[in-house]
Each structure stands twice: as structure tokens, then as C-alpha cells.
């Protein structure tokens, strides 16, 4: 009982002060804040395979030029390497594309968490004018006239409809889990899986307090936090845009201004540029900025390099899907 109360308190503190929360956790003793990634059990392989085809098919965009994979390039970390994405007609968006790898573990989807599930998330890009720019009736009519119709009958026992398209794509995304990293092998007891610098980087990641927000199997994705915990103000060079209000746009609560989902850091070495603005080009700069904004600390270059080395151990490149 006492243990439960202590845990509940540590969780409550995490919302108020990352550093204090980490200390409380460390005093409570015991487990590492990062857990190994595990494949998700029970994903229907036939649904996932149909979802894989749909994910790569530009037929889902208005002019047939853009697929999910255009912006979530699976062999390049599941993002697009651009500050902001480019959709149909060369239209540009306003936020950076996160990776789709391990998104299945997010407490909600999008930077502001406005979609509760992977299934709901699909509506966003499909209808966004700067992304795929289409609508469900158009997509369903095309699918019905294509070889997909037979595949939907086999897998779902029915003609293509929106819930089935969403379910198939979400099933595929639930297979995009990057298991087997060196860090996870180290967690599993393989002491030699990490170098001395990488272990030192992990120790710093915990002692600075990064792990109070970036934690769990995905090293993020399991809470919302304010960007600018210690230093307030936006980070967008040209001044704030409505999207920079983050979670406030979903809940309307003043306390949610500039609050974002803490992103997973599992593939962070593969997915520059950084932050929802996509304006920070290098990982080193992102780490320094986090020190200043979230922890009120200037992190010296040596520690930045060690933390970056640790972050590189969080993914096994062999776990990325090939096109």
C-alpha cells in the first residue's frame, strides 16, 4: 500500500518538476526508467499486409502522387528528413513529421495528441489539404474499382469501407516496432552491448532528468509536458503559429498552452531535424535546447556528446522495414 502511494506521488510530482520526480524515483530504488521494446502480440498478419500495401499506395491521395510512405520513409527512420512535410501539389505543412515506428505505444497520436488511436489518426493525413488532400468517398470508390476490393473481401469479409482501411493501416503500424537494439540487449543483461561512453551517456540522461519525461519502452510517448518547462516562450524562429499552442488546441485549457506529447527518442538519431517546428537541425543542438528549456541547465559539450552516443544505441538499424 505504502509503495503504491509513493508511486502515485512520484507520478504526480513528474507533472510539476522533472528533476524532483526523477530523484523520488531513484530513492524508491529499483527499475530502470526505460524498458525493452516488445513486438505487439495478436496483430492479424493478413490485415497488417493489406495495411502495408495501403500505407505505400499513392492511390490514397487526391492526385495519386503521395502515400503515407512519402512522408514516413520506412527505411530512413519512418520520417521524411524535412523540417516540415510536403504533400500534394508541393504544398508544405507547418509541423515536422514524427516517425511512425513505435507510434503504437504513444498515449495519443500527433504532437498535440488530437487522435486517440492509430485508427483515428488515419483521417488526419487523408483529408489534410497540405498532405493527401482527399476524402473518404473518393478513396473508397477507387478502392472498390481496384484489385483491393478482392483483398478486403478476403481479409474483412466485406467491401472496402473507412473503418476497414483504418484498421488495416493501424494493424500494419502495430508491426513497426524496433526491437533488438543494443540498449535493450544491455537492459537484458548483456553488459558488453554498450561501450563505456554509451553507458556514461545513459547515466547522464538519467541524472540530468531527461528520463523523467522520455521514459518507458518507447523512451517517450507516454505523457504530455510543456515545451519550455523552465524557460517560457516559443521556439519558432519567425514567432509562434497557432500549432505552437499544442495541447491547448485540443482541450482549450489554459494550462495546456505549449504542452506537447513527449516524443519517443527511440529513432531520434535517424530523424533530424527536430521538435514540432523542425527548425533544429542537429541532435546536439536539440539536447542543448532541452537542457535549457526543460531543465534550466546548460549542458556542457562533453555531456551532450555522451548523451547523443547513448541515444544512438536505442535502435537497431536492421529493425527498419525495407521498402
Of positions 131, 184, 198, 256, contacts ligand HEC by CB under 6 A? 131
| Residue range at the interface with ligand HEC (CB under 6 A); choices 1-9, 99-107, 147-155, 194-202 | 99-107
- d(CA 10, CA 210) in angstroms, rounded, equals 15
Query: In terms of CB distance, is 37 or 103 closer to ligand HEC?
Result: 103
Only one residue has cell 542543448, namely 288
DSSP assignment of 16-73, as one string?
A: H-HHHHHHHHHHH----SS----PPTT--HHHHHHHHHHHT-GGGSTTS---HHHHSB
Query: Virtual CA dihedral for 290, 294, 298, 303, nearest 10 degrees?
Result: -50
Query: In terms of CB distance, is 190 or 253 closer to ligand HEC?
Result: 253
Query: In terms of CB distance, is 227 or 315 closer to ligand HEC?
Result: 227
| Residue range at the interface with ligand HEC (CB under 6 A); choices 105-113, 148-156, 186-194, 312-320 | 105-113
Of 125, 123, 57, give the one whose Cα is nearest residue 85.
125
According to the binding rule CB under 6 A, does residue 13 interact with ligand HEC? no
Asked if 271 contacts 169 with a C-beta cutoff of 8 angstroms, the reply is: no
- 131 catalytic residue (yes or no): yes
- d(CA 148, CA 175) in angstroms, rounded, equals 21
According to the binding rule CB under 6 A, does residue 103 interact with ligand HEC? yes
Query: In terms of CB distance, is 110 or 156 closer to ligand HEC?
Result: 110
Q: Count the neighbouring beta carbons within 10 Å of the beta carbon of residue 73.
A: 18
Q: Which of residues 257-316 bind ligand HEC (CB under 6 A)?
A: 260, 262-263, 265, 268, 271, 274-276, 286-287, 290-291, 294-295, 307
Query: Counting runs of H as helices and runs of E as strands, what totals does the chain give?
Result: 14, 2
Of 131, 141, 190, 192, which is the active-site residue? 131
Q: What are phi and psi of 41, to 5 degrees?
A: -80, 150
**Catalytically annotated residues:** 131
Footprint of ligand HEC (CB under 6 A):
18, 55, 60, 66, 68, 70-72, 85, 87, 93, 95, 97-98, 100, 103, 106, 109-111, 118, 121-122, 125-126, 131-132, 169, 208-210, 212-214, 225, 227, 229, 260, 262-263, 265, 268, 271, 274-276, 286-287, 290-291, 294-295, 307
Amino acid at each position: 500500500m505504502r509503495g503504491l502511494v509513493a508511486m502515485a506521488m512520484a507520478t504526480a510530482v513528474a507533472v510539476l518538476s522533472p528533476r524532483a520526480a526523477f530523484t523520488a524515483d531513484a530513492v524508491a530504488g529499483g527499475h530502470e526508467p526505460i524498458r525493452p521494446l516488445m513486438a505487439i502480440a495478436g496483430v492479424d498478419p493478413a490485415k497488417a499486409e493489406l495495411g502495408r500495401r495501403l500505407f505505400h499506395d499513392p492511390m490514397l491521395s487526391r492526385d495519386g502522387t503521395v502515400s503515407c510512405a512519402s512522408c514516413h520513409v520506412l527505411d530512413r527512420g519512418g520520417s521524411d528528413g524535412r523540417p516540415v512535410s510536403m504533400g500534394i501539389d508541393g504544398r508544405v505543412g507547418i509541423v515536422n513529421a514524427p516517425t511512425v515506428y513505435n507510434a503504437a505505444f504513444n498515449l495519443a497520436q500527433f504532437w498535440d495528441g488530437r487522435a486517440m488511436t492509430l485508427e483515428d489518426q488515419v483521417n488526419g493525413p487523408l483529408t489534410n489539404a497540405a498532405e493527401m488532400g482527399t476524402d473518404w468517398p473518393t478513396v473508397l470508390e477507387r478502392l472498390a474499382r481496384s484489385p483491393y476490393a478482392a483483398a478486403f473481401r478476403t481479409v474483412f469479409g466485406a467491401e472496402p469501407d473507412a473503418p476497414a482501411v483504418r484498421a488495416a493501416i493501424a494493424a500494419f503500424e502495430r508491426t513497426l516496432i524496433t526491437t533488438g537494439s543494443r540498449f535493450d540487449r544491455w537492459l537484458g543483461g548483456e553488459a558488453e552491448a554498450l561501450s563505456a561512453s554509451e553507458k556514461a551517456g545513459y547515466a547522464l540522461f538519467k541524472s540530468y532528468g531527461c528520463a523523467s519525461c522520455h521514459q518507458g519502452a518507447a523512451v517517450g510517448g507516454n505523457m504530455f509536458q510543456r515545451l519550455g518547462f523552465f524557460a517560457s516562450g516559443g521556439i519558432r524562429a519567425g514567432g509562434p503559429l497557432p500549432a505552437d499552442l499544442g495541447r491547448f488546441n485540443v482541450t482549450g485549457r489554459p494550462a495546456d498552452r505549449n504542452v506537447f506529447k513527449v516524443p519517443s527518442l527511440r529513432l531520434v538519431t535517424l530523424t533530424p531535424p527536430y521538435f514540432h517546428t523542425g527548425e533544429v537541425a542537429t541532435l546536439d543542438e536539440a539536447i542543448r535546447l532541452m537542457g535549457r528549456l526543460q531543465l534550466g541547465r546548460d549542458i556542457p559539450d562533453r555531456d551532450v556528446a555522451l548523451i547523443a552516443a547513448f541515444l544512438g544505441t536505442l535502435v537497431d538499424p536492421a529493425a527498419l522495414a525495407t521498402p
